[in-house]
Amino acid sequence: MRVISGKYKGRNIKGYNINGTRPTQDRVKESLFSMIQTYLNESICLDLFAGSGNLGIESLSNNASFCYFVDNSNKAINIINENLLTICQNDKDKISKVLKLDYKSALINFKENNIKFNIIFIDPPYKTNYILDILEYIDKFNLLMENGLIVVEYETDNFTKDFSNIIEYKSKKYGYKFIKIYKRK
């Protein structure tokens, strides 16, 4: 696994073998980031279920100004910190914050601290049913900035719902994976 574009292009990302994670493949990541490229500059991102930190690090490489990385696995947290230190080096603490929390606690924490995002990446473990719950929290807590995006990666296209503040913007299938992008109304 590696950073595919931007200022950290070509640098290796460790953690492709963390139990319970499945990193976004390079071709999917390349297509995904081409879809959201115009939203990345100076953005504040959230990499929820961060695993290795792959998506958040790619965002930072493409001029996101800050990224929060959330995972509840000790191994994932250690790998994310190691990747950030190796890839971003001395900038790590200026451009990122790593939180060991479950998704509900993290989203409540962001609401209570009035932290909002330009881009939220949601890539939960497959065979879980967290996506609708997470989207409802984001919508209810108003965690997206104006024109903000939510990028959801999932295995089966089995969820759909109307939300107060977000609408489905784009959708794409890559083999057995799907990407849905929601946008703030």
Per-residue pLDDT reduced to its tens digit, 106-154:
999 999 999 999 999 998 887 778 899 999 999 999 999 999 999 998 8
Does 21 fall in a domain?
no
- Does residue 20 fall inside a structural domain? no
Element (H, E) at 132: helix 131-141
Contact assessment for residue 179 and residue 152, using Cβ atoms and an 8 Å cutoff: yes
- The DSSP letter of residue 68 is E
Q: Is residue 1 included in any domain, yes or no? A: no
Query: What residues make up the domain containing 80?
Result: 26-184
pTM: 0.93
Tally of structural domains, the chain? 1
- CA-nearest of 90, 75, 81, 70 to 13 is 81
